Amino acid sequence: MKNKNNKSNAVFYISLVISFAIVAWGVISPLSLKEYGTKLFNFLTSTFGWAYLLSMLFFVGFALILAFSKYGNIKLGPDDSKPDYKTSSWFAMLFGAGMGIGLVFWGVAEPISHFVSPPGIQPGTPEAANFAMKTVFMHWGFHPWANYSILGLALAYFQFRKNKPGLVSSIFIPLLGEERVNGPIGKLIDILAVLATVAGVATSLGMGTLQINSGLNFLFKIPETKTIQLTIIGIVTVIYIWTAVSGVEKGIKIISDVNLYVAFGLLILCFMIGPKVKIINSFTNGLGQYLNGFFQDSLHIEAFGDNSWINGWRIFYWAWWIAWAPFVGTFIARISRGRTIREFVMGVIVAPSIASFVWFAVFGTLGINLFDKIGLKGLQAAAATSSTALFAVLQYYHLGSIISFVAVFLLCTFFITSANSATFVLGMLTSEGDLNPSNFKKIIWGLVQALLATALLISGGLKSLQTASVAAAFPFILVMILGSFSLVKALKSEKL
């Protein structure tokens, strides 16, 4: 027990010191952080873009093959275990933690960005619209969710079936042995997981704060200032720490359920006020193009041409999802005890992907449909600032102000869901995988995330941290691939 506590404390204190060092760097010298992060990211994407593409496709194939293999019926827990949460609550929690705020932030902004500036295609044409929808389906479809499922599945298996600690390092026991996993190598893996979680979530909180402020400005003319943004962070921080301290069963589950209902209501409302036939056609055509070009688009990288678009969008997204994998994977594992491997994979990959396709079909079409009304320049202006794109588009539709108000509320609840899930996970990762970490650690990590988001907003270093965090997540490609082989090695010992 003494070794475990030492390891737990080492991971906690080292992660805390590095997190505060990054905060200090972002505040004292944001330009330096930006320059370093950009250089590192540019080097990794230009040299190892192929590795991101191949690994993400591998995750999709691995997860689906495993689900439909002879191991698909194995329970994540004892053979007689039942799921801890009903399917709708389970889906709400994993969806809120895994995408949530990103869907509201990018739902309009990304499709119109691709529509007004597609690589090698005339902007504002039907071809550009097709490209835009196919691309957002690609970026928010099977790949990111498969990436989450790899870590989540391995963690849930070792946690609940093998009774190992809920730590990323635990999945390497079949490959490295318990002694090494409890030593410096295991600590390093867990510290990397903590830092990727802190950086990824703090950046998302900063983005969410900017968009909530933009929405309040659109609705109530509340100015977009640092003071207002810090106030938003302060209020939301109190709520998400409170819900994290309440635990999964109470706080996190209730907020996630609210999220699901509000998001579904917003989706239906936007479908009703939008061009219904165009939305259905966008979904149908986008899905067809996405599936038809799945392998080609998954592996597309220019050997002799210009890769600036691929590096700036696809590779960036793949790196971003990998950066989020430790957090989302750990949280999904925590709520998935009692489900079979097949049920887990289908629930984590297929169901949320379809929800994302519907979401982008509705919101992307709302944006692109304005081409005839405000022209290419109007859409370029809307796409120029991602945080305001949603509100810039909604003002042209009936009930735009009401829908914007609902969207701001949803941003707040998604904000809280992502932050309280991450606070809970950070508590677990720095408490030797304890499924119910102490309130002290949850409060500490909740405050650290808020401080980091605040520091970066004040210094203008939000983009810097985003770039640096996806660059720092590069080692997780290897961690997740090795973790996949470790899981297979453990599964082979199962008596089927």
Q: What is the mean pLDDT of each run of 10 residues along the chain (496 residues)?
A: 55 89 80 81 89 96 95 94 88 73 88 96 96 97 95 94 92 92 90 84 80 86 90 89 75 78 92 96 97 97 93 90 87 91 93 93 96 94 86 91 89 81 86 86 89 79 70 84 94 87
Residues 6+ apart with CB under 8 A from 165: 4, 159, 432, 433, 434
Cross-strand partners of 340: 75
Secondary element (H or E) of residue 310: none
Residue 482's Cβ-count burial label (10 Å; 0-12, 13-18, 19+) is middle
How many Å separate Cα 477 from the centre of its chain? 16
pTM comes to: 0.91
Class of domain 2-491: mainly alpha
Sign of CA dihedral 190, 470, 443, 246: negative
How far apart CA 313 and CA 119 sit, in angstroms, is 11
Q: Where are the alpha helices (DSSP H) in 117-225?
A: 126-140, 142-156, 173-176, 178-181, 184-220
Per residue in 36-64, is it b (16+ CB within 10 Å) or e — as a string?
Answer: bbeebbeebbeebbebbbbbbbbbbebbb
What are the structure tokens assigned to 249, written together?
A: 């069963």
Q: CA-CA-CA-CA torsion for 431, 437, 438, 442, nearest 10 degrees?
A: 90
Q: Give pairs for 29-33: CB < 8 Å, separation 24+.
A: 30/456, 30/459, 30/460, 30/461, 30/464, 33/461, 33/464, 33/465, 33/468
- What's the pLDDT score for residue 249? 64
Two tokens, residue 491: 């599964």
Determine the pLDDT at residue 1: 41
pLDDT value of position 318: 92
* DSSP 8-state assignment for residue 171: G
Contact 192, 476 (CB under 8 A): yes
DSSP 182: T
Q: Could you tell me how many residues make up the chain?
A: 496
The domain segmentation of the chain, as residue ranges, is: 2-491
The residue whose two tokens read 């009774």 is: 163
CA distance 2 to 158: 22
Is the separation of the CB atoms in 418 and 97 below 8 Å?
A: yes
| pLDDT at residue number 7 | 52
- Cα separation, 460 vs 244, in Å, equals 28
Q: Which residues contact 459 (CB under 8 A, 6 or more apart)?
A: 26, 27, 30
SS in 3 state form for 69-136?
A: CCCCCCECCCCCCCCCCCHHHHHHHHHHHHCCHHHHHHCCHHHHHHHHCCCCCCCCCHHHHHHHHHHH
